Amino acid sequence: MQHPLKLMRCRKDRERVVILGSGWAGYTIARQLDPKKFQAVVVSPRSYFAFTPLLASTAVGTLEFRTALEPIRGRRTKFEYFQGWADGVDFKNKTVAIEEAVDDPTQSLAPTRERHANKTKHEREVEKVREAKKGTLFNLSYDKLVITVGCYSQTFNTPGVRENAYFLKDVGDARRIRNRLLACFEAAALPTTSDEMRQNLLNFAIVGGGPTGIEFSAELHDIIQEDLARIYPELIPFHHITVYDVADKVLPMFDEKLAKYAMDTFRREGISIRTKHHVEGLRIGPPEHSAEKDLGEHTCYTLKVKEEGEIGVGMVVWSTGLMNNPFVAKSMANVPDLPRASVKLLESGSKIDGSSSVSWTIQKDPKSGSVITDNRLRVKLEARGDAKDKPQAILNDVYALGDCAILDGTVYPATAQVASQKADWLAKRLNRNDIEQTRFEWKNLGVMAYIGNWNALFQGGGGVGNISGRAAWVIWRGAYLTKSVSWRNKILIPTYWFINWIFGRDISRF
């Protein structure tokens, strides 16, 4: 066995910052940390950063998958990377246990449950010993730890959703959707497919009326109108798109007028919106009331909606709900016997004796289970026990940001914008070593959503500067082109927009 980190270009004079995750928070901070001051090490099961706002476009081929990705490793990368999952953390000895994930077949898909969920606790413990021996589980020490592990997709335990729904959180999900969508049309085009099955296969349901669900519906409408209507003209009468949401309106982050504009646009485009509807299940196969029972390989799914009963669908795209990350839930709970030097006591903790070690609990948001941080993005602790006025503290050198963390006392949304602003801020503070002199505050830059047919919504920060329609679409495209990370993608994205506008989207499946 090698020295565990032989390969790393260590510099003794630099602190090692281990960053768990490669999303909006983790990737941003990794790129911005000064390599002269810090040895940054990214640990993530994904070998890339996904530019999530463009995933809906890639799911229908308006853009190619890789235009929404930035490889973590590149010719100019100044930080280290290990492909793996964080499996545990020892705050006392400052090490993270890493389970490598080089060949993980789920590495590009939305996670919906703990990856070892099918094993008992004992089985997993036995496995861990074996993995440590094989080198697939190893420890990485840190000077500073940045936790940006994000959230999983929440299915609310709706029966069949985890197994049968299509998610849209990562590029593998986008590829699955693209292949399924085109396979539904190809199967419907077979001469032996019945009209009833055609109707089922070409009925697309989107669950969740947030920006992701709305933008995907809009992109789906676009590919059907602009491309599939010319390629499969006979099949177009069979298709339908429906957006379901339990709330009484979609796009809740937009003001009334813009949300209404979106709903009117959808109505004109023939997309149905069913608010106050409750999805109760999703299974493979046609509805009970269907004439067809044995449908061969091209069967549809059946969506069960409380208000509508069973509905045959070709695909359900599930874009609602965040689930607490199992790493946060399991590995970031209790912190026993932490030496006094590892924490910074807050006012209420002043009564704690300076020499002894104390057992702490990591503060969590009771609803989401997210880690609570102070306004310098440091993880908050409280002493264990039942006392009412429990001593509180800050865990030194441990930061949490992105969807897995909540800044104490704020209601910032779980968006890329908040995550990347936090990352920008933290990288700057660490580089300048001035975290005590300032505190993070989110600057709301507004929200945008594409609503199809070259229309979008834009709402400026604080609800001012609302724009809808074609002008907002120009802003939408301009913003994402500007924000896309690499020059490579700044060239490729408009190239594909142009090519697919002129020649149509590519419908090859492989």
Within residues 122-161, the interface with its own copies by CB under 8 A covers: 131, 133-136, 138
Could you say which residues in the range 204-223 bind its own copies, by CB under 8 A? none
User: What track of x and - describes contact with its own copies for positions 217 through 256 (by CB under 8 A)?
Assistant: ----------x--xxx-x----------------------
Query: For strand 392-400 and strand 378-383, is the pairing parallel, antiparallel, or unpaired?
Result: antiparallel
State yes or no: residue 95 binds its own copies (CB under 8 A).
no
Could you say which residues in the range 403-432 bind its own copies, by CB under 8 A? none
Per DSSP, the residues of 451-492 read EETTEEEEE-GGG-S-EEEHHHHHHHHHHHHHH-S-HHHHHH
Nearest to 95 by CA among 32, 2, 4, 1: 4
Nearer to its own copies, 82 or 167 (CB): 82
Beta bridge partners of 486: none
Please, are residues 399 and 124 in contact by the beta-carbon 8 Å criterion? no
42 Cβ contact partners less than 8 Å away, ≥ 6 residues apart? 19, 21, 22, 26, 27, 30, 72, 79, 80, 81, 82
Could you say which residues in the range 11-70 bind its own copies, by CB under 8 A? 46-48, 64-66, 69-70
Q: Is the dihedral of CA 240, 241, 247, 251 positive or negative?
A: negative
State yes or no: residue 105 binds its own copies (CB under 8 A).
no
Cα separation, 467 vs 117, whole angstroms: 46
Min dist CB 509 to its own copies, Å, is 5
Nearer to its own copies, 178 or 304 (CB): 178
Nearer to its own copies, 481 or 492 (CB): 492
76 Cβ contact partners less than 8 Å away, ≥ 6 residues apart? none
Interface residue with its own copies, options 297, 347, 353, 386 (CB under 8 A): 297
Min dist CB 6 to its own copies, Å, is 7
Q: Which residue has the tokens 């070998």?
A: 47
Cα separation, 344 vs 381, whole angstroms: 10
Min dist CB 183 to its own copies, Å, is 5
Per DSSP, the residues of 372-396 read EE-TTSEEEEEESSS-TT--EEEEE
State yes or no: residue 77 binds its own copies (CB under 8 A).
yes
Nearer to its own copies, 23 or 208 (CB): 23
Could you say which residues in the range 429-488 bind its own copies, by CB under 8 A? 486-488
Nearer to its own copies, 72 or 418 (CB): 72
Stretch in the footprint of its own copies (CB under 8 A) among 101-109, 160-168, 339-347, 372-380:
101-109
Please, are residues 193 and 298 in contact by the beta-carbon 8 Å criterion? yes
Angle in degrees, 0-180, between the axes of helices 487-503 and 470-483, rounded to the nearest 10: 140
Q: Which residue has the tokens 């993270």?
A: 96
Interface residue with its own copies, options 237, 252, 270, 296 (CB under 8 A): 296
Nearer to its own copies, 81 or 216 (CB): 81
State yes or no: residue 82 binds its own copies (CB under 8 A).
yes
Interface residue with its own copies, options 39, 63, 86, 100 (CB under 8 A): 100
Nearer to its own copies, 66 or 240 (CB): 66
# residues near its own copies by CB under 8 A? 76
Stretch in the footprint of its own copies (CB under 8 A) among 12-20, 295-303, 331-339, 408-416:
295-303
State yes or no: residue 284 binds its own copies (CB under 8 A).
no
Min dist CB 294 to its own copies, Å, is 6
Query: For strand 95-100 and strand 80-90, is the pairing parallel, antiparallel, or unpaired?
Result: antiparallel
